[in-house]
Amino acid sequence: MTDPLPREDFLAALQALSSRYWGSHPFHVRMHAGHLTREELRTWAANRWYYQSVLPLKDAAIVSNCPEPEVRRLWLERIVYHDGAVEGEGGREDWLRLCEALGLTRAEVLDERHVVPGVRFAVDAYVRFAQTRPWVIAVAAGLTEMFSGHLMRRRVVDVLAHYPWIERADLSYFTTRVDAVSAEGKQAVDLVLAHCVTRADQDSAVAALAFKCDVLWSMLSAIDHACHGVGKR
Protein backbone atom coordinates (compact mmCIF):
# COMPACT_ATOMS: atom_id res chain seq x y z
CA MET A 1 0.00 0.00 0.00
CA THR A 2 1.26 3.51 -0.82
CA ASP A 3 2.28 5.61 2.21
CA PRO A 4 0.11 8.62 3.04
CA LEU A 5 1.40 11.99 1.90
CA PRO A 6 2.91 14.22 4.57
CA ARG A 7 0.34 16.83 5.69
CA GLU A 8 2.00 19.69 3.78
CA ASP A 9 2.16 17.69 0.53
CA PHE A 10 -1.49 16.70 0.85
CA LEU A 11 -2.44 20.33 1.44
CA ALA A 12 -0.32 21.39 -1.55
CA ALA A 13 -2.08 18.81 -3.77
CA LEU A 14 -5.46 20.28 -2.75
CA GLN A 15 -4.33 23.87 -3.22
CA ALA A 16 -2.86 23.10 -6.64
CA LEU A 17 -6.42 22.65 -7.90
CA SER A 18 -6.95 26.40 -7.66
CA SER A 19 -5.88 26.47 -11.33
CA ARG A 20 -9.14 24.65 -12.18
CA TYR A 21 -11.27 26.99 -10.11
CA TRP A 22 -14.05 28.99 -11.79
CA GLY A 23 -12.30 32.28 -11.00
CA SER A 24 -10.57 32.00 -14.38
CA HIS A 25 -13.66 30.90 -16.36
CA PRO A 26 -14.20 33.22 -19.38
CA PHE A 27 -17.68 34.14 -18.07
CA HIS A 28 -16.27 35.34 -14.75
CA VAL A 29 -13.49 37.14 -16.61
CA ARG A 30 -16.11 39.02 -18.66
CA MET A 31 -18.17 39.75 -15.55
CA HIS A 32 -15.20 41.16 -13.68
CA ALA A 33 -14.09 43.22 -16.69
CA GLY A 34 -17.54 44.85 -16.86
CA HIS A 35 -18.50 43.25 -20.18
CA LEU A 36 -21.79 41.62 -19.22
CA THR A 37 -25.14 43.11 -20.20
CA ARG A 38 -27.95 43.45 -17.67
CA GLU A 39 -29.67 40.51 -19.34
CA GLU A 40 -26.54 38.37 -18.99
CA LEU A 41 -26.23 39.30 -15.31
CA ARG A 42 -29.86 38.32 -14.83
CA THR A 43 -29.27 34.96 -16.52
CA TRP A 44 -26.26 34.39 -14.24
CA ALA A 45 -28.14 35.31 -11.05
CA ALA A 46 -31.24 33.25 -11.86
CA ASN A 47 -29.12 30.21 -12.70
CA ARG A 48 -26.78 30.52 -9.76
CA TRP A 49 -29.88 30.69 -7.60
CA TYR A 50 -30.26 26.98 -8.23
CA TYR A 51 -26.80 26.36 -6.71
CA GLN A 52 -27.57 28.60 -3.72
CA SER A 53 -30.90 26.92 -3.14
CA VAL A 54 -29.52 23.37 -2.92
CA LEU A 55 -26.47 24.09 -0.72
CA PRO A 56 -28.50 23.30 2.44
CA LEU A 57 -29.54 19.95 0.90
CA LYS A 58 -25.88 19.17 0.19
CA ASP A 59 -24.90 20.11 3.74
CA ALA A 60 -27.79 18.12 5.21
CA ALA A 61 -26.52 15.08 3.27
CA ILE A 62 -23.10 15.52 4.90
CA VAL A 63 -24.73 15.75 8.34
CA SER A 64 -26.82 12.66 7.68
CA ASN A 65 -23.73 10.63 6.71
CA CYS A 66 -21.49 11.81 9.58
CA PRO A 67 -21.24 9.79 12.79
CA GLU A 68 -19.25 12.52 14.64
CA PRO A 69 -21.43 14.81 16.82
CA GLU A 70 -18.87 17.66 16.87
CA VAL A 71 -18.72 17.70 13.07
CA ARG A 72 -22.52 17.57 12.80
CA ARG A 73 -22.77 20.48 15.24
CA LEU A 74 -20.40 22.56 13.09
CA TRP A 75 -22.09 21.60 9.86
CA LEU A 76 -25.62 22.47 11.00
CA GLU A 77 -24.49 26.11 11.18
CA ARG A 78 -24.00 26.08 7.41
CA ILE A 79 -27.60 25.07 6.82
CA VAL A 80 -28.83 27.83 9.14
CA TYR A 81 -26.50 30.32 7.42
CA HIS A 82 -28.19 29.80 4.07
CA ASP A 83 -31.76 29.21 5.23
CA GLY A 84 -31.64 31.91 7.94
CA ALA A 85 -32.67 31.38 11.56
CA VAL A 86 -36.07 32.87 10.68
CA GLU A 87 -38.00 33.62 7.51
CA GLY A 88 -36.58 36.63 5.62
CA GLU A 89 -32.94 36.19 6.74
CA GLY A 90 -29.91 34.25 5.52
CA GLY A 91 -27.88 33.70 2.36
CA ARG A 92 -30.88 32.53 0.35
CA GLU A 93 -32.71 35.74 1.09
CA ASP A 94 -29.62 37.83 0.25
CA TRP A 95 -29.34 36.06 -3.10
CA LEU A 96 -33.01 36.72 -3.89
CA ARG A 97 -32.45 40.41 -3.09
CA LEU A 98 -29.53 40.48 -5.52
CA CYS A 99 -31.79 38.93 -8.17
CA GLU A 100 -34.42 41.61 -7.55
CA ALA A 101 -31.80 44.37 -7.78
CA LEU A 102 -30.84 42.98 -11.18
CA GLY A 103 -34.44 43.26 -12.35
CA LEU A 104 -35.79 39.76 -11.79
CA THR A 105 -38.98 39.11 -9.87
CA ARG A 106 -38.83 36.76 -6.91
CA ALA A 107 -41.47 34.57 -8.55
CA GLU A 108 -39.47 33.99 -11.73
CA VAL A 109 -36.38 33.06 -9.70
CA LEU A 110 -38.24 30.75 -7.34
CA ASP A 111 -40.04 28.86 -10.09
CA GLU A 112 -36.65 28.20 -11.76
CA ARG A 113 -37.93 29.03 -15.24
CA HIS A 114 -34.53 30.45 -16.22
CA VAL A 115 -32.47 27.50 -14.94
CA VAL A 116 -30.86 25.81 -17.93
CA PRO A 117 -30.45 22.01 -18.08
CA GLY A 118 -26.63 22.12 -17.85
CA VAL A 119 -26.74 24.06 -14.57
CA ARG A 120 -29.37 21.77 -13.08
CA PHE A 121 -27.37 18.71 -14.12
CA ALA A 122 -24.08 20.00 -12.63
CA VAL A 123 -25.62 21.20 -9.36
CA ASP A 124 -27.65 18.02 -8.89
CA ALA A 125 -24.43 16.03 -9.38
CA TYR A 126 -22.88 17.89 -6.44
CA VAL A 127 -25.83 17.06 -4.16
CA ARG A 128 -25.79 13.44 -5.30
CA PHE A 129 -22.05 13.28 -4.61
CA ALA A 130 -22.62 14.40 -1.01
CA GLN A 131 -25.45 11.92 -0.59
CA THR A 132 -23.48 8.93 -1.80
CA ARG A 133 -19.85 9.52 -0.75
CA PRO A 134 -18.29 9.32 2.74
CA TRP A 135 -18.92 12.57 4.67
CA VAL A 136 -15.27 13.68 4.71
CA ILE A 137 -14.96 13.23 0.95
CA ALA A 138 -18.06 15.39 0.46
CA VAL A 139 -16.47 17.96 2.80
CA ALA A 140 -13.36 17.87 0.57
CA ALA A 141 -15.51 18.68 -2.46
CA GLY A 142 -16.57 21.89 -0.69
CA LEU A 143 -12.94 23.01 -0.40
CA THR A 144 -13.46 25.31 -3.37
CA GLU A 145 -14.40 27.64 -0.52
CA MET A 146 -10.64 27.91 0.11
CA PHE A 147 -10.39 29.72 -3.22
CA SER A 148 -13.61 31.72 -3.12
CA GLY A 149 -12.87 34.44 -0.53
CA HIS A 150 -10.36 36.17 -2.79
CA LEU A 151 -12.70 35.92 -5.80
CA MET A 152 -15.68 37.33 -3.88
CA ARG A 153 -13.67 40.29 -2.61
CA ARG A 154 -12.62 41.08 -6.18
CA ARG A 155 -16.19 40.60 -7.40
CA VAL A 156 -17.54 43.32 -5.11
CA VAL A 157 -14.85 45.79 -6.19
CA ASP A 158 -15.12 44.99 -9.91
CA VAL A 159 -18.92 44.90 -10.09
CA LEU A 160 -19.24 48.24 -8.27
CA ALA A 161 -16.61 49.77 -10.56
CA HIS A 162 -18.12 48.55 -13.84
CA TYR A 163 -21.89 48.39 -13.34
CA PRO A 164 -22.86 51.79 -11.89
CA TRP A 165 -26.54 50.81 -11.61
CA ILE A 166 -25.62 48.13 -9.03
CA GLU A 167 -25.28 49.44 -5.46
CA ARG A 168 -23.18 48.08 -2.63
CA ALA A 169 -26.31 47.08 -0.69
CA ASP A 170 -27.38 44.90 -3.65
CA LEU A 171 -24.19 42.85 -3.17
CA SER A 172 -24.84 42.06 0.49
CA TYR A 173 -24.76 38.34 -0.35
CA PHE A 174 -21.05 38.70 -1.15
CA THR A 175 -20.10 41.36 1.41
CA THR A 176 -21.67 39.25 4.18
CA ARG A 177 -20.47 35.92 2.86
CA VAL A 178 -16.83 36.74 2.24
CA ASP A 179 -15.60 36.36 5.84
CA ALA A 180 -17.86 33.38 6.52
CA VAL A 181 -16.65 31.55 3.42
CA SER A 182 -12.99 32.02 4.35
CA ALA A 183 -13.66 30.73 7.90
CA GLU A 184 -15.62 27.76 6.53
CA GLY A 185 -12.82 26.98 4.08
CA LYS A 186 -10.31 26.88 6.95
CA GLN A 187 -12.61 24.72 9.09
CA ALA A 188 -13.19 22.28 6.21
CA VAL A 189 -9.52 21.97 5.31
CA ASP A 190 -8.66 21.17 8.95
CA LEU A 191 -11.29 18.41 8.97
CA VAL A 192 -10.06 16.94 5.69
CA LEU A 193 -6.41 16.98 6.80
CA ALA A 194 -7.33 15.33 10.13
CA HIS A 195 -9.68 12.66 8.77
CA CYS A 196 -8.06 11.65 5.47
CA VAL A 197 -5.17 9.68 6.91
CA THR A 198 -4.64 6.93 4.33
CA ARG A 199 -3.24 7.57 0.87
CA ALA A 200 -6.47 6.24 -0.62
CA ASP A 201 -8.53 8.76 1.37
CA GLN A 202 -6.15 11.57 0.44
CA ASP A 203 -6.43 10.66 -3.25
CA SER A 204 -10.24 10.56 -2.96
CA ALA A 205 -10.23 14.00 -1.34
CA VAL A 206 -8.13 15.49 -4.15
CA ALA A 207 -10.40 13.84 -6.74
CA ALA A 208 -13.47 15.22 -4.91
CA LEU A 209 -12.11 18.76 -5.09
CA ALA A 210 -11.30 18.31 -8.80
CA PHE A 211 -14.88 17.07 -9.33
CA LYS A 212 -16.27 20.16 -7.57
CA CYS A 213 -14.11 22.47 -9.70
CA ASP A 214 -15.68 20.74 -12.72
CA VAL A 215 -19.19 21.23 -11.29
CA LEU A 216 -18.63 24.97 -10.94
CA TRP A 217 -16.90 25.27 -14.32
CA SER A 218 -19.73 23.39 -16.05
CA MET A 219 -22.30 25.65 -14.43
CA LEU A 220 -20.65 28.75 -15.81
CA SER A 221 -20.20 27.18 -19.26
CA ALA A 222 -23.92 26.38 -19.35
CA ILE A 223 -24.72 29.94 -18.24
CA ASP A 224 -22.36 31.34 -20.87
CA HIS A 225 -24.03 29.26 -23.58
CA ALA A 226 -27.47 30.35 -22.39
CA CYS A 227 -26.38 33.98 -22.69
CA HIS A 228 -25.63 33.27 -26.35
CA GLY A 229 -29.01 31.60 -26.82
CA VAL A 230 -27.56 28.09 -26.71
CA GLY A 231 -28.99 25.43 -24.38
CA LYS A 232 -32.17 27.33 -23.50
CA ARG A 233 -35.34 25.34 -23.84
Ligand X SMILES: O=C(O)c1cc(C(=O)O)c2c(n1)C(=O)C(=O)c1cc(C(=O)O)[nH]c1-2
5 or 13: whose CB is closer to ligand X? 13
The H or E element spanning position 44 is helix 38-65
Cα 1 to chain centroid distance, Å, stands at 34
Q: Stretches 146-154, 157-165, 198-206, 217-225: which one binds ligand X (CB under 6 A)?
A: 146-154
Stretch that binds ligand X, among 29-37, 66-74, 139-147, 160-168 (CB under 6 A): 139-147
CB of 57 to ligand X, least distance (A): 11
Single out the residue of 137, 138, 148 nearest to residue 48, CA to CA. 148
Among 83, 94, 145, 201, binds ligand X (CB under 6 A): 145
The answer to whether 193 touches 7, Cβ cutoff 8 Å, is yes
Using CB under 6 A as the binding rule, whether residue 144 contacts ligand X is answered as: yes
The 3-state DSSP composition of the chain as helix, strand, coil percent (nearest 5) reads 80, 0, 20
* Cα-based distances in Å from 34 to 6, 13, 61, 69: 43, 33, 37, 45
Q: Measured between alpha carbons, how far is 155 from 146 in angstroms, rounded to an integer?
A: 16
Cβ closest to ligand X, residue 10 vs residue 81 = 81
Q: Is 34 helix (H, G, I), strand (E, B) or coil?
A: coil
Residue from 41, 71, 177, 192 that binds ligand X (CB under 6 A)?
177
Residues 42-61 that bind ligand X (CB under 6 A): 55
Task: Please tell me the distance from the alpha carbon of residue 153 to that of residue 104, in angstroms, as a whole number.
Answer: 24
Q: Does 219 bind ligand X (CB under 6 A)?
A: no
State in angstroms the smallest separation of the CB of 159 from ligand X. Answer: 11
Kindly determine how many residues on this chain lie close enough to bind ligand X according to the rule CB under 6 A: 10
Tell me whether residue 10 or residue 147 sits nearer to ligand X (CB atom): 147
> Site residues (CB under 6 A) for ligand X?
55, 142, 144-145, 148, 151-152, 177, 181, 216
